[in-house]
Amino acid sequence: MRRDVATLVLASALYGFSIGCVHSTRFGLHNVLKFPLLFLITGAACAVAYFLWALLIGGARFRFVDVQRLAMRLYRDAAVLLAALAPANWFLARTIVPPDATSLHDYPLFLGVNICFIAVAGGLALFRQVHALAQYHPWPLSRRVITVGGWLALSLMVGGQAAWTLRPFFGVRSIPGAETRFFLGSSPDYRGSTNFYEAVYNVVAAAPLAADYTRHGRGWD
């Protein structure tokens, strides 16, 4: 378990550094701390729920520590896969045309590529744990999928808000790093959203932008 956690921390720090470099080395170094924290906070908040969910769906007698180990391996695998992409990501981060006063240039492409990276790594880790569960317990495939899928849904629910609190991870380079808080917490973003769910809602039902929206999102308003 300790080895899994150590691998998770190192791998996620490496990936975090690579995405932060799209803004600056300063943001990259912030992410060395923040990205592992994102995984650890999510895992800690969901720990008991993971356990009860596995019991509810599996009906088997699990030990708490076994479920944590399985869930941790899901995170670890995703983090290691992402870490493997870190060199490529770092190269992209340092070579895209940075945003300026006139346009975001390649920045949306970088975000899109990273969303794909995270989706692929998460999907592969999920698939691997569904397969791995079969070695540990003779459940039918449907129960394994529901168990691991439930863990993923819980992680997304909590991880989304954790990521919102710990942001910025990327950061548009036109925002001065020295003027941006380490954690933005519940500070409103450029649309005025103060939490992850509100931000999702604002993406789906986009409200008109305020005239001074470019001044928001640094954590001081």
Partner 1 sequence: MTNQPIELEANSRDEEAQPFSRQELRGMLGAPLRMVDLVLGERRRFAANVAQEHRLPTLLVVLTVATAAFALPFGAVLGPQGFWRIAALLLGSLAICIPSLHVFGRYLGIGLSWAQTLAVSLAAAAVTSLFTFALAPILGFFRVTMSASDVVTPQNMAVMLLICAFAAGIGQLFFVALGNRALARRIGPAAIPVIIPWLVLYVIITVRLAGVLHIGS
List contacts with partner 1 (CB under 8 A): 41, 44-49, 51-53, 55-56, 59-63, 66, 69-70, 73, 76-77, 80, 128, 132, 135-138, 154, 157-158, 161-162, 164-165, 185-186, 193-195, 197-198, 201-202
Residues 184 and 218: their CA atoms lie apart, in Å, by: 7
Residues with Cβ within 8 Å of 52's Cβ and at least 6 positions away in sequence, in order, are none
Q: What Å distances lie between residue 194 and 26, 30, 204, CA to CA?
A: 25, 21, 16
- Rounded distance between C-alpha atoms, residue 210 and residue 196, angstroms: 19
Toward partner 1, which CB reaches closer, 29 or 84? 84
Q: How far is the CB of 95 from partner 1 (least distance, A)?
A: 29
Nearer to partner 1 by C-beta: 110 or 117?
Answer: 117
Compute the least distance from the CB of residue 32 to partner 1, in Å: 21
Indicate the residue among 73 and 173 with the shorter CB distance to partner 1.
Answer: 73
Query: Least distance from C-beta 46 to partner 1, angstroms?
Result: 7
